[in-house]
A and B are shown apart, each in its own frame.
Chain A
Amino acid sequence: KAGVTQTPRYLIKTRGQQVTLSCSPISGHRSVSWYQQTPGQGLQFLFEYFSETQRNKGNFPGRFSGRQFSNSRSEMNVSTLELGDSALYLCASSVTPGHLKETQYFGPGTRLLVL
């Protein structure tokens, strides 16, 4: 069974631009979560989607948004990019929405560099 896939793997953007990242979950997984990883802040939760609905959101500004499609694929968008948005963005999928017991499986990540 194929794992979580993320595209693109690398991106370079300039301040003020916007970017869209894509994630395809493991077949049969209906929940997708996004995380931001930076050296300073570590791994931080962005949001979670299930059945095309955002279930939970982390403490990030409204410039960060996402959506999920009927085939469970998900996209996240960052508008008006800032230098501090440079990070590795990780997507994770699980069978059902994340809770205390659910296991999440991660993709390889998209590395975003904002210049």
Chain B
Amino acid sequence: GNSVTQMEGPVTLSEEAFLTINCTYTATGYPSLFWYVQYPGEGLQLLLKATKADDKGSNKGFEATYRKETTSFHLEKGSVQVSDSAVYFCALGGSQGNLIFGKGTKLSVKP
């Protein structure tokens, strides 16, 4: 079945550092891929998505490219801010109508 493997944190960076959070997937069919972000005490917010191979999703300086050859969807940001501190979830569309999530990566950005 479909599954997502996401690098486990926590990840601690200094402000303006480069961020990469790795995500790989196993899927039958061609699901959409998503990154969601969860700030403390809140629900999940859609950060970006990609619907087919080679698509690049981007939002708020974050980007991720749907790589079919490496089955990856790594999240990157060139210069993180303290306000980016949150938990990031990689997800893909499941065949039963549900989203399948990775375990989440906690990011802490220090000033």
Contact = CB atoms under 8 A, between A and B. Distances in A.
A81 interface: no
Interface string B28-71: 01111010100000111110010100000000000000000000
A100 B32 contact: yes
B46 A105 contact: yes
Contact of B97 (A35, A43, A55, A107): A55
Contacts of B32: 100-103
A103 B91 CA distance: 11
A66 interface: no
Interface residues of B, number: 25
Nearest to B100: A45
Contacts of A35: 98-99
Given A33-B98, A42-B101, A98-B97, A103 B43 contact: no
Nearest to B89: A43
B86 to A, nearest CB: 14
Given A100-B31, A103-B34, A108-B43, A56 B103 contact: no
19 contacts: A31-B97, A33-B99, A42-B103, A43-B99, A45-B100, A48-B97, A48-B98, A56-B98, A58-B98, A90-B43, A92-B99, A97-B97, A98-B97, A99-B95, A100-B30, A101-B31, A102-B32, A103-B34, A106-B45
Interface of B: 29-32, 34, 36, 42-46, 49, 51, 89, 93-101, 103-104
Interface of A: 4, 6, 31, 33, 35, 42-43, 45, 48, 55-56, 58, 88, 90, 92, 97-109
Nearest 7 pairs between A and B by C-beta?
Answer: A98-B97, A45-B98, A100-B31, A106-B44, A100-B93, A43-B101, A108-B43
